[in-house]
Amino acid sequence: MNKFDKEQILHTSGVNVLKCMRCGKCSATCPSYDEMEYHPHQFVYMVEKGDIEKLMASKSIYKCLSCYACVERCPRGVEPAKVVEAVRLQVIRRQGANHLTPDDIPALLDEDLPQQAIVTAMRKYSK
Amino acid sequence: MQRIGVFVCWCGSNIAATVDVSAVSEALSHEPGVVFSTNYQYMCSEAGQNLIKDAVREHKLTGVVICSCSPRMHEMTFRKAVASTGLNPYMVEIANIREQCSWIHKDKAAATEKAIILGRAAIAKVHLNAPLTAGQSPVTKRALVIGGGIAGIQTALDIADAGFEVDIVEKQPTIGGKMTQIDKTFPTLDCAACILTPKMVDCAQNEKINIFAYSEVEEVKGFVGNFHVKINKKARYVDTTKCTGCGECTEKCPMKKIPNEFNLGLDNRRAIYIPFAQAVPKVATIDPDHCNMLKNGKCGLCAKVCSAGAIDYKQKDETIEREYGAIVVATGYNPIKLDQYDEFAYSQSPDVVSSLEFERLTNAAGPTGGTLLRPSDGKHPHTLVFVQCVGSRCSQEGKGKSYCSKICCMYTAKHAMLTREKYPDTEVYVFYIDVRSPGKNYDEFYRRAVEDYGVHYVKGMVGKVTPRSDGKLMVQASDLLAGEQMHIEADMVVLAAAIEPDKSARPLATMLTASMDTNDFFTEAHAKLRPVESPTAGIFLSGACQGPKDIPDTVAQAGAAASKVIGLLCKDQLTCNPCVAHADQLMCNGCSSCEKVCPYGAITYEDKEFRMPDRTTAIRRVASVNEAVCQGCGACTVACPSGAMDLKGFSNSQIMAEVDAICKM
Amino acid sequence: MIFSYYPGCTLKNKAQDLDRYARLSAEKLGVALEELEEWQCCGGAFSMGRDEIASKLASVRALNAAKEQGRDLVTLCSACHNVLKQANDAMANDADFSLRANNYMQLAAPYRGETQVIHYLELLRDRVGFEALKKAVVKPLTGRKIAAYYGCLLLRPSKVMGMDNPENPRIMEDFLRAIGAQPVTWAMRNECCGGYAVMEDRGLAAQKSERVMDNARDMGAEAIVTACPLCLYNLKKNTLKEGRLPVLYFTELLAEALGVKD
């Protein structure tokens, strides 16, 4: 277990993972559940255990839609989306780890695509 | 000069692990007036008490300081021990070095220093203590039970059984409470009505019991043994001495569309109504908000059809004043409102119901006659999803309740089991976080739901319910053990809503000066050792007003509360607290400040003649304390601008001596 | 009534209708929206990382500009509103972030979340008033059954956004009633359309949008209204053509009802 990674994730997210009571409501409400290898409740639990590498290596970190449904509906105020975001930041802050680069953009454009989609994706997928 | 003995308790390791008890007794032995100082493992034990008694005799002690736990725990124990030697029990002072020292500190040196300071303060106080003698006050041999649910009913029956009079005040038109709405009861599945309604009838027929239904407590004055209570008996617009409960009026009333609260709005009642067939008292009540006659003087149909001539549109609220020796709070609970949890679509579909609504939908006396039918279309549901912990164990601010509501796991198992038993063609899912079933035959009951009735228990939570136009409810949930998200097409969703104390509890607690916790549950005098008594003397707790409780626990607690009341009412006299206020009438300037702040009405003013200089006299208005009524709260001593008010045993000079001892390093 | 106004990048490009109809309607209602002079893109999403500083500064600059003008700041795009509101909350309540952000920016006076950020819908509800709006309507949308689509960003996280009950909102429904339309009750109104994931995984976005579209249609809506350009795009572009309802900006219906739609 990488102690530094865990501390950094707790710091970045500001989440107290110990508040989780394992009810699974975050994963019950998550619209991206089927796209994810690790689900919101697992992010919280695995960070608590210090099992960070698996999360960082998983494509699940790019599947969170940041829709705040888990944040809103968690009975304990754990805010799982912030944990997912912190793990993703931990990955993309590394050298050359951007998930999306400006060079990728032209191929993804269509005539109606709002600027909002591009800037949001850039913010989420790259540093 | 007092001859003071100091006794430092280890409380096993509770104190001794954090406080150097030898150092404390050693240091305090050098304080002025201290002639004996020691420490012992358990001062409250028989050996410890003997140690104190022997020292009092041997060293001719006139004052005793015990450094131990909170005085709430053992002050009485030590006072009794000291009194047995002939020394006045009010010459004992407790320095709390457990709750206020060892339990809250980690550093032993600092805790030891603090324990010594606390001991010094107690010694300084004992120097100024004077012997006090407790007076006596009479006991009114009648009890008041506030709330007529199963808790109040059981308490009243048990008190009456011991031969004492008891009044039940119930704000609804009938007694019976929540239990009247419940179909069957876990874990034995007897019908709630079958076991409750005979008790309701017993209350009505018992000559010792007086029921004030449709009434509320308005004002409480006095103190243990001598409460003076005003009860507002709301106008029913029906003469209860004439009404026979025939129900003719309730069939003729033209106002038909009023949501029936007994069935939680699942059907309608009339403006004149009897809540249900077994109501006690079985008399009609007119709902003034919906009665045309009362609102605009047009109608009068019920008066025309009433052959008993019981209808009285001119009836007014009535105030009843009664004296009581003891008061039992049995105000019960309610399910929370579900408007903060609309991810379960409670407001969007009538087929998403609360568990209490589900009780009505399965109850033979309910709106569907006991056949489970969907509220939206009256069809038989095939797939039912039960969601546990809706609003319970929720620490989100302003949303739910942080506590476990305790009863939901078991009633949900009951609902699921009964549904499967009655309708074997159904699929029943229960989503749970933990199944909590610690009670006699409880876990076996829940396992029967799974093993004998095939209820699908899923470890996980429902995240979203989406009603469809065809009436199906699309349930999205997590199955944590399978590691998948489930999508169920359900016909009904049942929400186990958290329970909370009745809204009347908070203002009542203020009237009673009884303490409550942050969730508005009444606080018990001791969580373990005095669970049915409020810290306010003479106030007792029965049922869910003290915390979430099922029926077996409620009935047990109701009996316990009754036995405490009986113990009190058996006495002819109560020993008063001698630590009461006293007015120095020479210093009193008659300003009335103390009278205004006294919560017990113990202070009155009188005109008295005083000798003045040069052989003259003057009549002055001065305060006088009724020692039998004063509870020693001390509010008057703070309010008094001239320093005339003082509290025996806690005089201003004693408190200041303590403060000086603490500040003097 | 004069307000500072933050349009955001999309409203200057692909979502010009959202902006245009809002301005025309505001004028009709006697509300002056003064666009901030030098606003920058909010970034589309608020970074939930508490140690992300630089990516939030554009929002703080806009918030501070409104403060210097002494006006409340009106937003329109759901994403901008969400980002500005969350950045404002962090400036007011996260002392560490606030200190670092102020250190970067070296403003004349430190910014501590003083600006009130209000969404155009809140402007209609709380400042104009739905009753007054109702009176100003010249062409009520009588009989039109409309599904109000909140998506995720307008309401959540509710403790910061504070617009309405996040699970049972009514601001958009009340708005629709005020302009004479009939709001539809539907559960998916506050579920995600798939959002920016369309860039990475069009299939995922399509699936989410389809569920939203399906529920609105099923519950009897003729059209969907939104305040978010990305929701509009996903619902229009990433749903099955068959059964696709028209998706409109709420401001378009507003302008229509007020008789200012050109």
What is the value of ipTM here, to two decimals?
0.96
Integer distance in angstroms from the first to the last C-alpha of chain A?
A: 25
φ, ψ for residue B526, nearest 5 deg: -150, 130
CB B132 within 8 A of CB B649: yes
pLDDT value at residue A2: 67
SS3 B27: helix
Residues in B closer than 8 angstroms to C215, CB to CB, are 466, 468
Provide the pLDDT confidence category of residue B576 given band limits of 50, 70 and 90.
Answer: confident
CB B654 within 8 A of CB B620: no
Q: Report how many Cβ contacts below 8 Å link chain A to chain B.
A: 66
CB C160 within 8 A of CB C86: yes
SS3 B279: coil
Q: Which of residues 14-53 of A touch B (CB under 8 A)?
A: 19, 21-30, 33-34, 39, 41
Residues 6+ apart with CB under 8 A from B297: none
CA distance B544 to C115: 47
Counting as contact any 3 or more CB pairs under 8 A, the partners of B are A, C
Q: Using CB atoms, which residue from A28, A34, A77 is nearest to B463?
A: A28
Domain boundaries, chain A: 3-94, 100-127
CA distance B612 to C186: 85
pLDDT value at residue A62: 95
CB-based burial of residue A25 (10 Å sphere; 0-12 exposed, 13-18 middle, 19+ buried)?
buried
User: Considering just the CA atoms, what is the radius of gyration of chain B in Å?
Assistant: 31
What residues of chain B have any CB closer than 8 angstroms to a CB in chain C? 339-343, 345, 347-348, 397, 464-469
User: What is the span of the domain harbouring residue C64?
Assistant: 2-120
Judged by CB atoms closer than 8 Å, whether chains meet at A65 and C195 is answered as yes
pLDDT value at residue C108: 93
A113: left (phi over 0), alpha (psi -120 to 50) or beta: beta
Residues in A closer than 8 angstroms to C208, CB to CB, are 31, 65
Of C120, C150, C169, which residue sits at a domain end? C120
CB B513 within 8 A of CB B599: yes
Judged by CB atoms closer than 8 Å, whether chains meet at C166 and A85 is answered as no
Provide the pLDDT confidence category of residue B602 given band limits of 50, 70 and 90.
Answer: confident
Counting as contact any 3 or more CB pairs under 8 A, the partners of A are B, C
pLDDT value at residue A52: 94
CATH number of A3-94: 1.10.1060.10
Q: Using CB atoms, which residue from A23, A27, A34 is nearest to B433?
A: A23
Cβ–Cβ contact B77 with A under 8 A: no
Residues in A closer than 8 angstroms to B389, CB to CB, are 23, 75
Q: Are residues C188 and C246 in the same domain?
A: yes
Cβ–Cβ contact C160 with A under 8 A: no
Cβ–Cβ contact A11 with B under 8 A: no
Q: What is the mean pLDDT of residues B192-197?
A: 95
Write the pLDDT tens digit of every residue in B256-278. Answer: 999 999 999 999 999 999 999 99
Q: Are residues C86 and C142 in the same domain?
A: no
User: Which of B468, B475, B493 is the best residue to mutate to test the C interface, defined by the most C CB atoms within 10 Å of its own CB?
Assistant: B468
Q: Using CB atoms, which residue from A28, A39, A74 is nearest to B476?
A: A28
H or E element that contains B359: helix B355-362
H or E element that contains B65: strand B63-68
User: Which residue ranges form the domains of chain B, and what is each CATH number?
Assistant: 4-126 (3.40.50.960), 142-234+317-332+502-569 (3.50.50.60), 248-305 (no CATH), 334-500 (3.50.50.60), 581-648 (3.30.70.3270)
CA distance C141 to A81: 39
pLDDT value at residue B577: 86
Q: Using CB atoms, which residue from C52, C196, C237 is nearest to A120?
A: C196
Give the CATH number of the domain where residue C26 resides: 1.20.1050.140
CB B227 within 8 A of CB B220: yes
Q: What are B371's two structure tokens?
A: 């056949």
The answer to whether position C130 is within a domain reads: no
CA distance B590 to B606: 9
| Minimum Cα–Cα distance from B396: chain C residue | C159
> Which residue matches tokens 């709430």?
B72
The total number of residues shown for chain A amounts to 127
The answer to whether position C217 is within a domain reads: yes
Q: Among the listed ranges A77-86, B485-494, B580-589, which one has the minimum average pLDDT value?
A: B580-589
SS3 C5: strand
pLDDT value at residue A1: 57
Share of chain A above pLDDT 90, in %: 93
Q: What is the average pLDDT value for chain B, to the nearest integer?
A: 95
CA distance B545 to B415: 25
The answer to whether position C125 is within a domain reads: no
CA distance B45 to B53: 12
The total of other beta-carbon atoms located within 10 Å of residue C195's CB is: 32
Q: Are residues C113 and C151 in the same domain?
A: no
CA distance B221 to B629: 10
H or E element that contains B611: strand B603-612
Judged by CB atoms closer than 8 Å, whether chains meet at C187 and B469 is answered as no
| Minimum Cα–Cα distance from B466: chain C residue | C187
Amino acid at B216: E
User: Considering just the CA atoms, what is the radius of gyration of chain A in Å?
Assistant: 15
Q: What are C109's two structure tokens?
A: 């006076």
The total number of residues shown for chain B amounts to 665
pLDDT at B628 over 80: no
Q: Are residues C147 and C254 in the same domain?
A: yes
SS3 C226: strand
H or E element that contains B478: strand B473-479
Q: What are C101's two structure tokens?
A: 């952000």
Judged by CB atoms closer than 8 Å, whether chains meet at B342 and C220 is answered as no
CB A25 within 8 A of CB A76: no
Q: Are residues C249 and C183 in the same domain?
A: yes
CA distance B395 to B401: 7
Q: Are residues C69 and C175 in the same domain?
A: no
CA distance B172 to B281: 11
Q: What are B466's two structure tokens?
A: 């989406």
Q: What angle do CA C182, C183, C186 make, to 5 degrees?
A: 145
CA distance C249 to chain A (A): 14
| Minimum Cα–Cα distance from B395: chain A residue | A76
CA distance A53 to A48: 13
Judged by CB atoms closer than 8 Å, whether chains meet at A75 and B460 is answered as no
The answer to whether position C183 is within a domain reads: yes
The total of other beta-carbon atoms located within 10 Å of residue B240's CB is: 17
pLDDT value at residue B665: 62
CA distance B479 to B283: 51
Residue C157 preceded by cis peptide, ω within 30: yes
φ, ψ for residue A17, nearest 5 deg: -65, -20
Q: What is the mean pLDDT of residues B508-523?
A: 95
Q: What angle do CA C112, C116, C118 make, to 5 degrees?
A: 145
Strand intervals (E) in B240-373 = 258-259, 268-269, 272-273, 285-286, 318-324, 326-329, 333-335, 352-354
Q: What is the mean pLDDT of residues B31-44?
A: 96
Separation in Å, CA B255 to CA B267, B293, B296, B303, C224: 13, 11, 14, 14, 41
Write the pLDDT tens digit of every residue in A5-46. Answer: 899 999 999 999 999 999 999 999 999 999 999 999 999 999
| Minimum Cα–Cα distance from C79: chain A residue | A116
Share of chain B above pLDDT 90, in %: 92
- If you ran DSSP here, which 8-state letter would residue C124 be given? I
Q: Are residues C113 and C140 in the same domain?
A: no
pLDDT at B1 over 90: no
Cβ–Cβ contact C87 with A under 8 A: no
Write the pLDDT tens digit of every residue in C27-73. Answer: 999 999 999 998 999 999 999 999 999 999 999 999 999 999 999 99
CA distance C83 to C80: 5
Q: Using CB atoms, which residue from B394, B460, B462 is nearest to A75?
A: B394
| Minimum Cα–Cα distance from B397: chain C residue | C159
For B109-164, give the secondary structure using H, E and C.
Answer: HHHHHHHHHHHHHHHHHHCCCCCCCCCEEECCCEEEEECCCHHHHHHHHHHHHCCC
Cβ–Cβ contact A67 with B under 8 A: no
The widest CA-to-CA distance across chain B, in whole angstroms, is 103
Show the low-confidence residues of chain C (pLDDT under 50). none
Q: Using CB atoms, which residue from B340, B341, B345 is nearest to C187?
A: B345
Q: Are residues C50 and C151 in the same domain?
A: no
Q: What are B632's two structure tokens?
A: 């020693």
Judged by CB atoms closer than 8 Å, whether chains meet at B462 and A28 is answered as yes
Judged by CB atoms closer than 8 Å, whether chains meet at A30 and B394 is answered as no
User: Which of B338, B343, B487, B493 is the best residue to mutate to test the C interface, defined by the most C CB atoms within 10 Å of its own CB?
Assistant: B343
Residues in B closer than 8 angstroms to A75, CB to CB, are 389, 393-396, 399-400
| Minimum Cα–Cα distance from B474: chain C residue | C187
CB-based burial of residue B528 (10 Å sphere; 0-12 exposed, 13-18 middle, 19+ buried)?
exposed
For B506-533, give the secondary structure using H, E and C.
Answer: HHHHHHHCCCECCCCCECCCECCCECCE
DSSP string, B190-252: EEHHHHHHHHHHHHHH-TTEEEEETEEEEEEEEETTEEEEEEEE---SB-TTT-----HHHHH
Residues in B closer than 8 angstroms to C167, CB to CB, are 340-343
H or E element that contains B8: strand B4-9
DSSP string, B397-419: TTTS-SS--SSHHHHHHHHHHHH
pLDDT at B90 over 80: yes
Judged by CB atoms closer than 8 Å, whether chains meet at A100 and C199 is answered as yes
CA distance C135 to C170: 20
Distance of CA C117 to the CA centre of its chain: 11
Residues 6+ apart with CB under 8 A from C211: C188, C191
CB B135 within 8 A of CB B578: yes
Q: What is the mean pLDDT of residues B575-587?
A: 91
- If you ran DSSP here, which 8-state letter would residue C24 be given? H
CA distance A21 to chain C (A): 20
| Minimum Cα–Cα distance from C94: chain A residue | A14
Judged by CB atoms closer than 8 Å, whether chains meet at A73 and B476 is answered as no
The domain tally of chain C equals 2
Cβ–Cβ contact C137 with B under 8 A: no
Q: Could you tell me which of B219, B136, B295 has the C-alpha nearest to residue B628?
A: B136
Write the pLDDT tens digit of every residue in B273-329. Answer: 999 999 999 999 999 999 999 999 999 999 999 999 999 999 999 999 999 999 999
Of C120, C149, C175, which residue sits at a domain end? C120
Of C61, C93, C120, which residue sits at a domain end? C120
